[in-house]
Amino acid sequence: MDRRQFGALAAGAVLASPLRARAQTETITVHVSGGFYGDGNIKAFVEPFEKESGIHVNSVKSEVPPAQFELAAKTGSLDIDAFLTTEANGTMFARQGYIADIDYSIYDKEELAGLNPVSRQPWGVESIEAGFILSINSEVHPPGKPRPEDWQQFWDYEKFPGVRTLQSGQMGTEGPWEEALLADGVPIDKLYPLDIARAFRSLDKIKGQIRKWWAQGNDVMQLFSSGVVDMGMNFDGRATALQAAGKPIDINYNEAKIYGVYWIIPKASKHIAATQKFIEFASRAKQQAQMAEITKYAPSNVGAYKLIDPAIAKKLISFPDNTKNSFRLNGTWYAEAGPDGKTNTARLVERWNTWIVQ
């Protein structure tokens, strides 16, 4: 309730019926992420869901860091009904008993069939498929001129000079790990289990050439938009957004790393039934198509491809022509724990924090 509504109540005024209805409806709190991706979630999912269901969605434009969620779940101080996370984090949270199972009984059979098995986990539903690709400033390195076509060539800064960027490894579940191993000659189908020591030895070779280790999608967009870097690791959706804005960015889908972003529901949610309805709605082909056209991220429901503008569809990371030499990030490996209880994610974070300051 905003201040004007509160003031009207204090003065004994009678609220109009639309406001009274809003006050009586159920409200769920959903973290939709930030930037243009968060805007897309609101336009494609939140606003039409509110109209159809009558359920109000309190959209929070931020992410939920894993450590923050774990602490809140342990202390019982959580006030979130749904948020987006990676397969690795979702797998880990499920093992810890912090998230509710998804109720697939409320899904239309045709819509459910459009979700691949990897998209419909017991603990979460894939919202989009995204990926990390090699993007290149096409003015500095135009087509037809020598420029890297894979990660091994990207590592060869003497043969292919240019200002470079890679993603920071500070989060563990995301980072240049697979790219470093591909650069070191590991076959694309032999990446997992990741050889952590070998990955860092490969990163040693490129470390001095990296202008910026970016952490967030907005960071890498700014690096390419402003021309600070010429080439590097990028989110596919961020790169296509830059293209749409007229920036000279080319995308190389060779050795692309595809991953899913999942909706999950904390067990502590006080509105689980309403939140299940929201996630089911967001999984429908029609809404997924709208999301893809807004954000340029690929749908998890393959039925959406029938509804997406072909000009946009061919740029999405899961479009058949773009997946010929790609691979799926193995979130289960990141969540695996050793005898000491540490997950592979935790090992990567510890190693990264030491390595980056050396």
Identical fold, 18-129+261-313 and 132-257+320-355 = yes
132-257+320-355 in CATH: which number?
3.40.190.10
pLDDT value at 6 more than 80: no
Cβ(114)–Cβ(307) under 8 Å?
A: no
Lookup result for tokens 């749409």: 244
| Residues of the chain above pLDDT 90, percent | 84
Each domain of the chain, given as residue ranges in start order, spans 18-129+261-313, 132-257+320-355
List, as one string, the DSSP characters of 271-298: -HHHHHHHHHHHTSHHHHHHHHHHH-PE
What's the confidence (pLDDT) of residue 4?
Answer: 38
Q: What percent of the chain has pLDDT over 70?
A: 93
Give the pLDDT of residue 24: 52
- Over residues 206-235, the mean pLDDT reads 95
CATH numeric code, 18-129+261-313? 3.40.190.10
Mean pLDDT of the chain: 91
Question: What are the structure tokens assigned to 97, written together?
Answer: 């008993």
Q: Encoding tokens for residue 284?
A: 């429908």
Q: How far is CA 205 from the centre of its chain?
A: 28
Side-chain-side CA neighbours of residue 19 (13 Å): 11
Q: What is the mean pLDDT of residues 198-204?
A: 98
